[in-house]
Amino acid sequence: MNTSLNFVAYLIYLPVVAMLTWYVAHTLFKNSKVFMLDIFKGKEEIAFSTNRLFETGFYLLNLGFALKIMEVSYEIGTNRSLLEILSAKIGGFSIYLGIMLFINLYLFFRGRKISKERSKLAEALSKIPGNS
């Protein structure tokens, strides 16, 4: 049994999942500013603040999950098993990140749709005589 391979697995796993999380979060929240501005009707301060809060939550949730699933509960004996364990852990985390990305996109599109519906409703109500 070689406990150093377990340590090597952690040394590889942690930076890889941290960089994956950073890349997905950076890409998602850089591009979601447009959605937030649309949802908040161009009010930059609240749009960017809300976007930043979503980003912080994304990091906390995903890095927390990555740390939670990090444990390898048995000794890694060979380089082959090291690669297999890492591919399963990092692959599973990548799938999870992809799901989280699509959930966030769904929330952005849903927020945009609700914002548009409210705008249409407000516009329709303003056209009714006596409602100004």
pLDDT given at position 8? 93
pLDDT given at position 115? 84
Which structure tokens are listed for 88? 């399963």
Collect the ranges in the chain with pLDDT lower than 50: 1
pTM above 0.75, yes or no: yes
Sequence spans of domains, the chain: 3-126
Report how many helices (DSSP H) and strands (DSSP E) the chain contains, helices first. Answer: 4, 0
Which structure tokens are listed for 84? 């297999």
pLDDT given at position 131? 67
Q: How far apart are CA 81 and CA 86, in angstroms?
A: 8
pLDDT given at position 96? 96
Which structure tokens are listed for 66? 């990555």
Q: How far apart are CA 102 and CA 107, in angstroms?
A: 9
